[in-house]
Structure 1
C-alpha cells in the first residue's frame, strides 16, 4: 500500500506528489510530470455512474469499494485520479493512495480535454504498473474498450472497441456483462 509522500526537497518526485496533494480547491493529478486539475462535467459523471451502478453490487460481494481515490505510480512523475477504481476495502482503509496493482479494475471516462491521455498515456502506465483490468469509456468515439493481462510493454489482451449499446464482459473476479446502452 502506498502512503502519501512526505515533502523532500532533494527528491523531485516526492516533492511533486506532495505538492499535488496540497493544492487548495479542486483535486489534481499528475500526468507525465504535468499537474492537471480534475474537473469532470455532469455528462462525464453520468457515464461514470452508469458503469459504477452496474459493478457496485459485485464489488461489494468481493469486499471491495468503488471510488476515485489517488493512485501513485512510484518511480515516475505520475499521480492519477481515476474516474472509478475497484479496490479491496481493507486496502483502502487509511490509505492516501494505492498502487494500480492493488486495484481489481480501473475505469477512465474520456473528456474532450483528456481523451488521448486516457487512451494512450494512462493505458500504457496502468499496464506498466499492473492494473489487472482497464476499461476506457470513450465518449468522443462512443465506444468501450477493456484492456487486460498487463505487462511492461502494455496490455496483451484487448476487448473492443465496442460501440455504445453493446454488452462487454468483465472477466473474473467480476464475471458480469456491462450494458453500455445508457451511454448512448
Structure 2
C-alpha cells in the first residue's frame, strides 16, 4: 500500500527563517505550553504532551533500550524536514544513534534519524497534520520509519520505505495487540499490546 498525502497548492505563509524567529520569540513566552511547527508552508501549533502521550513515548524508549541499547530516543528535538529541508517539525520522539544530536541547535538535520514517533492529540487538525502532512514531510527528509500512535483509533501505523515526493511507499497498521515488526535499519519487534491502556 502506498502512503501519499494530498498536497494542496498554496503560497507559503512565510519563509522558514521568519518562522524560526517567531517560534523562538513565542517559546520565551509560552513556557512550553505549545510548540510551533512549520510544515507545507504553514505554521502549526502543537500542544505540550499530556501524561498519556508522555507515557507512550516512554513505552517506546523502554522497548528500544531492551532491543537496541545503543540508540537514544529524544523528546522535543526540532527537525529540518520536507524537500530541501524547508519544514520544521517537533516529533513526540526521535530515535537516533547515541549522542547523535550533540552539538546541534534547536532545529537539527534529519540525516541519521532512524524513526520518528507521533502520538495523536485531540486537536481538530490532528488528522491533517499527523496523517497527511507529516508522512510527506518525513518521507521527503529520508527518515526510514514514521510510527504513528492513534489513540482515538486504537491503532499503530508504521510508515516505511521513504520516497522523496510521495511520503512513504509502505504502511502497516495494527490494532493495540500483538507485535509490530520494525524493518531495517531497526530490525526488532514492538510489543504494542500495552498501548490499549493509554487510549481515550
Same fold (TM over 0.5): yes
Question: In structure 2, do the counterparts of structure 1 residues 181 and 99 end up closer, same or farther at CA, with 3 Å as the change threshold?
Answer: same
Q: Deviations over 1:76-98 (max 9, x none)?
A: 66321111111233431111122
Distance 2:44 2:171 in 1: 29
TM-score, normalised to structure 1's length? 0.83
1:1-184 counterparts in 2 under 5 A?
A: 12-22=15-25, 23-24=27-28, 25-26=31-32, 28-32=35-39, 33-61=42-70, 64-68=71-75, 69-73=77-81, 75=84, 78-96=87-105, 97-113=107-123, 114-116=125-127, 117-151=129-163, 152-159=165-172, 161-184=173-196
Cα offset, 1:37, TM superposition? 4.0
Aligned length: 171
Residues 113-157 of structure 1: CA deviation (Å, up to 9, x unaligned): 153111111111111111111111111110011111111112011
Structure 2: 5+ residue runs without aligned partners? 1-13
Closer/same/farther in 2, CA of residues 126 and 70 from structure 1, 3 Å limit: same
Q: Structure 1 residues 77, 172: CA separation in 2 closer, same or farther (over 3 Å shift)?
A: closer
- Residue matched to 1:7: none
Q: CA deviation at 1:59?
A: 4.0
- Detail structure 1 runs of 4+ shifted over 4 Å in the superposition: 74-77
Aligned Cα root-mean-square deviation (Å) = 2.1
Aligned residues of 2:161 and 2:169 also touching (Cα < 8 A): yes
C-alpha contact 1:100 1:129 (8 A) present in aligned 2: yes
Unaligned runs of 5+ in 1: 1-10
Q: Which moved more, 1:131-140 or 1:44-53?
A: 44-53
- TM-score if structure 2 supplies the norm length? 0.77
Please report how far the alpha carbon of residue 49 of structure 1 lies from its aligned counterpart in structure 2 after TM superposition.
1.6
CA contact (8 A) 1:166 1:179 kept: yes
